[in-house]
Amino acid sequence: MKIRSKNYMNKDVNSLPFYKLQASGNDFILIDNQKLTFKTTQLKKIARVICRRRFGAGGDGLLVIEPSSKRDFKMRIFNPDGTEAEMCGNGARCAALWAGLELKTKDKNLSFETKAGVIRAQVSAKKTSVQVKIKMNTPSRLKLNIPVKVLGRTIKVNYINTGVPHTVIFVEGLDKIDVESLGRTIRFHKKFKPEGTNVDFVEVLAKDYIKIRTYERGVEAETLACGTGIAAGAIITSCRLGVNSCQLTVKVLTKSGEVLKVYLNKKEDCVENVWLEGKACLVYKGEFLTREVRDV
């Protein structure tokens, strides 16, 4: 299916309208597929082409907005390698910002479908750069202190699913960690096959303040921030430090330099009602003209 552009001097140019958004440096391309113009096979190709940095618009993922009969909309997320992910925390915050601006909803509270479940969102105002807060999926499959042999030595890691799988490793001197090399090794480790895992390196700065760097599955590189990883790091930290308060707020410093907040309810080993809050921004709107996308 081809989309006609009326905004260029050449009226016959075929183009794909898109939006560029970012949340804490985690950047995304968003396309509106509410008319179901594109099928999954086409979306996979679009993601591979449009997310390529220097050759495409560039992004950590492709967000696709589709109709929902039960919620405000459905969000799908495709990685730069074309694989479809179940959930993306910062992507969800960007999608909520877009919906607040483009769907003309009167309510600041939204709910939308993802492959990992329904996400609730609160958008603070109808502006292009605002605080967006989302309720994360209930975490599952929590496992602490798992021995894993990596690069000839055994280390202890922690595992949790916050919509997608995450392995959390506590370190000192986070800035000196080779996230790309070590992260890639753990991401593909046989312990986490077949789905693989995202890998989060966490340095505890205080009981309620951590610093994090993440190697993202599907991006296959370190990103400036990862919403589900931020939630994973905050939850595992609260478990590791033996915090048993009913309500907690954990501040998380990301690679981008921005600080996000994770709110959670914790009682012993049970964690629920997890919210992620931080700034999201609509950077620009554009039209993609590359033939590889026009011909999908």
Find tokens 């690069």 and name the residue.
151
Q: Residue 248: in which H helix or E strand, if any?
A: strand 247-253
Active site residue 246: no
Between the alpha carbon of residue 190 and those of residues 129, 148, 162, 184, 196, the distances in Å are 41, 10, 21, 12, 8
Of residues 26, 118, 31, the one with CA closest to residue 72: 118
Burial of 60 (0-12, 13-18, 19+ CB in 10 A): buried
List the catalytic residue out of 51, 94, 226, 239.
226
Residue type present at position 203: E
Residues pairing with 63 in the sheet: 30, 77
Active site residue 88: yes
State whether residue 195 is helix, strand or coil: coil
Q: What are phi and psi of 50, to 5 degrees?
A: -75, -25
Q: Which two tokens stand for residue 239?
A: 């478990």
Active site residues: 88, 226
